[in-house]
Amino acid sequence: MLAIACLLASLLLGVLVGPTNLNPFRVLTEIIDWVLPFSIDSGLSNIESSIVIDIRLPRVIMALLVGAMLALSGSAYQGVFRNPLAEPYLLGVAAGAGLGATIAIITNLGESKWSLPIFAFVGGFVASAISYFVGSAGKTNGRLDNTVSLILAGVSISSFFTAIQVYLQQAHVDTLREVYSWVLGRFSVQGFEEILIVLPYFFVTSFVILLYRRVLSAFEVGEEEAYSLGVDVRTSRLIVLLAASISASVAVAFTGLIGFVGIIIPHLVRLLFSNSYRVILPLSMILGASFLVLADLLARTAVSPGELPIGVVTAFVGAPFFVFVLYRARTA
């Protein structure tokens, strides 16, 4: 309940505050007008109402979706790998998406606004798929644990893709700035088109991961015991990783690399609330969403009329906060 209230509050704040000073009451009326089928006069001018509906609202919704997706896939990865340091980019989503985005930018396929997200998504997804198949090939043989080999595969594939990306980037120095700004994360959403594309992925992947909440708990006792409890470890791991990787790739494709959310939010939930996945998964989504909405709010208002990269904000604000919670938890 508290978490939902927190989400609503951050949503409101996200819509109400912005570089252009607008009357909060009128903004609310405008949004209600937009939601309801009949029209109410909010008293905002056409330009002002367009700022609210076409710029602020889509951006806030996008931040909400991406925050929820990153935090959820982060907690799913941590569950599957039984590793607290696992993050959504562990299997190479970031490196793959980075390469995809760089290719899209330097080949100047960027004529269409869709080419960058598509390339980034494909890159991220391909990289994590390669990691998965390399890392889980063959049978477990006492020497190498499945999850360890998956992580190792992810690390290798990531460095490989990053190497290519850096090479391409160096070879086309003129695009450096654009690639760099993508890497740091940005919400350049205009209107609702992107959101309509993200929504189905959001619903399907979140649904799948939430369905597997009990399986993720069973993973905590290790592969062998999870298996003896009647869990089809291989299949469920594949499904959860697939959902989490798709989710992370979609998020990355539209907003660039936003670090920190996927790893810190789930741990925040663990420290503050509960260690059970039935709590961690939904709460991570809600807190991840509110965190990113607020971070984006800060990103676009702090140095207004300029804009900070969202990745900078999440780390700059999130890290000290998390360190504080961690410290409190350890000394309590």
Nearer of residues 219 and 254 to another protein, judged by Cβ: 219
Nearer of residues 95 and 216 to another protein, judged by Cβ: 216
Nearer of residues 228 and 304 to another protein, judged by Cβ: 228
**Residue 17 and residue 19: Cα distance in Å, rounded?**
7
Residue 295 tokens read as 């971070």
Nearer of residues 140 and 162 to another protein, judged by Cβ: 140
Provide the minimum distance between the beta carbon of 110 and another protein in the complex, in angstroms, as a whole number. Answer: 42
**Residue 283 and residue 97: Cα distance in Å, rounded?**
27
Nearer of residues 159 and 274 to another protein, judged by Cβ: 274
Rg (CA), the chain: 21
Provide the minimum distance between the beta carbon of 263 and another protein in the complex, in angstroms, as a whole number. Answer: 17
Nearer of residues 50 and 235 to another protein, judged by Cβ: 235
Query: If DSSP codes are grouped into helix, strand and coil, which group holds residue 303?
Result: coil
Provide the minimum distance between the beta carbon of 319 and another protein in the complex, in angstroms, as a whole number. Answer: 23
Q: Which of 261, 263, 267, 266 minimizes the C-alpha distance to 314?
A: 261
CB 246 within 8 A of CB 238: no
Cα dist. 35→20, 29, 30, 40, 53 in Å?
Answer: 22, 10, 9, 10, 10
Provide the minimum distance between the beta carbon of 280 and another protein in the complex, in angstroms, as a whole number. Answer: 11
CB 249 within 8 A of CB 98: no
Nearer of residues 118 and 208 to another protein, judged by Cβ: 208
- 37 DSSP assignment: S
Binding site for another protein (CB under 8 A): 139, 211, 214, 217-218, 220-222, 224-225, 227-232, 270, 275-276
What are the percentages of helix, strand and coil residues in the chain, rounded to 5? 75, 0, 25
Provide the minimum distance between the beta carbon of 227 and another protein in the complex, in angstroms, as a whole number. Answer: 7
Exposed, middle or buried: residue 325 (CB in 10 Å: 0-12, 13-18, 19+)? middle
Provide the minimum distance between the beta carbon of 203 and another protein in the complex, in angstroms, as a whole number. Answer: 15
CB 300 within 8 A of CB 20: no
| Long-range CB contacts (within 8 A, 24+) of 327-330 | 329/271
CB 195 within 8 A of CB 68: no
Nearer of residues 130 and 231 to another protein, judged by Cβ: 231
Provide the minimum distance between the beta carbon of 270 and another protein in the complex, in angstroms, as a whole number. Answer: 7
**Residue 66 and residue 70: Cα distance in Å, rounded?**
6
Provide the minimum distance between the beta carbon of 53 and another protein in the complex, in angstroms, as a whole number. Answer: 37
